[in-house]
Amino acid sequence: MQAQQFLTEVPPRWWLALAVLFIGILLSYVVTVVNRRLLERAGVPRAIEGTAFERMAHELGTSTVSIVAKLSGYFVFLLTLFVALTVAQIEYTTLFWSGVVGFLPGLFLAVLILIIGIVVGDKVELLVQERLRGVKVPEVNFLPRLAKYSVFYVAALIALSQIEVATLALIVLLGVYALAIVLFSLVALRPMLQSAAAGTYLLLTQTYGIGDEIRIGEHNGIVQEVDVLVTRVETDGEEYIIPNRQVFNQGIVRVR
């Protein structure tokens, strides 16, 4: 008798809300599983193997993939929770929650972008390191780290702008940084790039080959080696190492 009374006391909206909540839990579980499957199928675990974030996740007894999958699950669950609350029409909460609901997708995206940023940054560091393994200069270790933190920075910037934090100053900083890199490469690497472009042409067309006698500017001699950046020309006792862009600036004379 009492139970029946209790049942009639509870407004039908609450039952509806409860149902919505139940569906929400189910849905969030499905989303978690499907997301994990999708990420694994896409080969994400292999791609991010060895990054610092993945290793940290492993130490905590989980993995990046399951973190991301769970995150999406929680997101769905929270969303349905709010829907349920709205359906239940609990008045005093609506005002607060409506603000939170508007904020939530941004937050979720921000966390996701941060995780992706960290993983991609780590991966970039590993790739650059791999590339530079042959270069045996201690200072070169600086480059992979620079690449990593650049990626981190950009990810943090995007994440912050997702949750609508004023990022203008940071963007200006990024712009200055990018400009500096462009300027640096333009000034410092221009001769190299010019030589490389000329060298590629020379290697492809073989305008002159090893053993030919040529004259470039004032240097006369026998070609010993042509590579992408320089041409080595030798006479008796002297070897000229001529940047390939000079070959293009000054032209070549083939001595027959």
Partner 1 sequence: MATLSELLADLVVDVDGVFLFSPSSSYYERFTELDEELVVVAPENTVGAETFVELPLEFDNVRDRVKFSIEGAMDRGMFEEGDVVACVVSTFGGDIDTTIRVRVGESMRSGVYDLFVNSRADPGVIRDVFEVAIELGQKGQKGKPVGALFVVGDAGKVMNKSRPLSYNPFEKSHVHVGDPIVNVMLKEFSRLDGAFVVSDSGKIVSAYRYLEPSAEGVDIPKGLGARHMAGGAITRDTNATAIVLSESDGLVRAFKGGKLVLEIDPEEY
Work out how close the CB of 143 gets to partner 1 at its nearest, in angstroms, rounded to a whole number.
Answer: 23
Work out how close the CB of 127 gets to partner 1 at its nearest, in angstroms, rounded to a whole number.
Answer: 23
| Site membership for partner 1, residue 43 (CB under 8 A) | no
| Site membership for partner 1, residue 209 (CB under 8 A) | yes
Q: What crossing angle do the helices spanning 64-88 and 91-131 adopt, rounded to 10°? A: 170
Report the largest interatomic distance among the alpha carbons of the chain, rounded to a whole angstrom: 117
Contact letters for partner 1, residues 216-245 (x by CB under 8 A): ------xxxx-x------x-----------
Strand locations in 103-251 (E): 213-216, 219-226, 230-235, 238-243
Pick the binder of partner 1 from 12, 43, 134, 211 (CB under 8 A): 211
Work out how close the CB of 256 gets to partner 1 at its nearest, in angstroms, rounded to a whole number.
Answer: 13
Interacting positions 147-206 with partner 1 (CB under 8 A): 203, 206
Closer residue to partner 1 (CB): 171 or 203: 203
Give the interface segment with partner 1, choosing from 27-35, 146-154, 161-169, 209-217 (CB under 8 A).
209-217
Work out how close the CB of 182 gets to partner 1 at its nearest, in angstroms, rounded to a whole number.
Answer: 31
Look-up: residue for tokens 């969030």?
28
Measured CA to CA, the distance from residue 45 to residue 190 in angstroms comes to 40
Work out how close the CB of 241 gets to partner 1 at its nearest, in angstroms, rounded to a whole number.
Answer: 12
Torsion, CA 103, CA 105, CA 108, CA 110, rounded to 10: -80
Work out how close the CB of 141 gets to partner 1 at its nearest, in angstroms, rounded to a whole number.
Answer: 17
Measured CA to CA, the distance from residue 121 to residue 130 in angstroms comes to 14
| Site membership for partner 1, residue 40 (CB under 8 A) | no
* Strand ordering across the sheet containing 238-243: 238-243, 230-235, 219-226, 213-216, 252-255
Query: Are 209 and 233 a contacting pair, CB within 8 Å?
Result: no
Positions that interact with partner 1 (CB under 8 A): 203, 206, 209-211, 213, 222-225, 227, 234
